[in-house]
Chains A and B, each alone.
Chain A
């Protein structure tokens, strides 16, 4: 009787474990892409099955597309990107967590009724939570974490727990050493409005004015390059348009 109970319990455990881990499958590879097996990088190939917690890296001009579970949640890994994938799946829920170490990914998370979906992309400075959508996420030390919504709704939250709910055309930009993400409509605002400073000048015009004294580009204002050209002849073509 005891032997029978152990067998039943073991079988249940095996079945449960098998269903808990989702199938991480490589759909497409272009150029150089690899996954980490032990301490080595191994080339990634289409239709390859990967284990939970796998690290994937892509080279220059290369990308890989990976399916994360049976619900067709996919991630496209763009050039010079490194990620780590954790994906679990049961009949009623999916739980995917992607660690973005560097680079850019596009996540597609089609929504399915009656299946509770958790899909998170984390970087050292912020996290994106997807709720049935398509999004571009990038991360790097200079520009920080950027979430661009293509379709649907995404929540971006930084390490301090400050959250922004994003829909189409909105962008979450969290930079290092900033307590708060930038305005989510900053891009739209920048495209629509030009900031005018004193005397009606734009920033570019002010920069041009500031640096016209120092045309050599040297920090100490050395005009040697121009001075050396003073005694030379030059041909200049001028087109005059009369009003």
Chain B
């Protein structure tokens, strides 16, 4: 009788685990919808979307940042709520895609030349400067292009 109970208990646990494994986390869809309506994206948003891009999930800003730091994507000296500029996003993107097309970016690795490298690779539009603040929909658009280049779709 006890053995039967154990078998039943393990079966239920395996079933629940498999359901959890295959369950989709729709919270990222909610977050993306929210991002769509924002006129200004933050560095925290960029960290979150790159965490999603690299691991398929996101957590707190601190743990996502340390994860991206290990992968060499995170930027130093920015807080979660800092407004995201084209230069900042370009630098994260250039690091993620390992862009080496621009000589100036290869040498200096600054946000300015990362932005130019992103333009050269068709990720960013040539108008504007690296200091321009990025909106929520623009951030999502850039990551869509990154996926396309990576061939992840």
Contact = CB atoms under 8 A, between A and B. Distances in A.
Given A142-B141, A215-B108, A216-B108, A60 B56 contact: yes
B103 A208 contact: yes
A61 B51 CA distance: 11
Nearest to B135: A141
Do most interface residues of chain B lie in helix, strand or loop, or is the interface mixed? helix
A217 interface: yes
A142 to B, nearest CB: 5
**Range, interface on chain B:** 35 or more
B30 A41 contact: yes
A104 B145 CA distance: 9
Interface stretch (B4-12, B18-26, B66-74, B75-83): B18-26
Interface in B82-116: 103-104, 107-108, 110-113, 116
Contacts of A80: 32, 140, 143-144, 147
Given A57-B33, A80-B140, A211-B104, A42 B26 contact: yes
Given A34-B29, A43-B26, A143-B125, A103 B144 contact: yes
Nearest to A138: B144
Contacts of A110: none
A143 B112 contact: no
B26 A41 contact: yes
Contact of B23 (A43, A138, A215): A43
Interface residues of A, number: 36
B28 interface: yes
Nearest to A141: B137
Interface string A69-109: 00000000011111000000000000000000111100000
Interface in B113-153: 113, 116, 120, 124-125, 131, 135, 137-138, 140-145, 147-148, 152-153
B29 to A, nearest CB: 5
A59 interface: yes
Interface of B: 23-26, 28-30, 32-33, 36, 49, 52-53, 56, 103-104, 107-108, 110-113, 116, 120, 124-125, 131, 135, 137-138, 140-145, 147-148, 152-153
Given A57-B29, A217-B111, 6 more contacts: A59-B32, A141-B137, A141-B138, A142-B138, A216-B110, A217-B104
14 contacts: A32-B56, A33-B24, A34-B24, A44-B24, A59-B52, A61-B153, A79-B144, A80-B147, A104-B153, A140-B137, A140-B138, A142-B124, A217-B110, A217-B112
Interface of A: 31-34, 41-44, 57, 59-61, 63, 78-82, 101-104, 138, 140-143, 204, 207-208, 211, 215-219
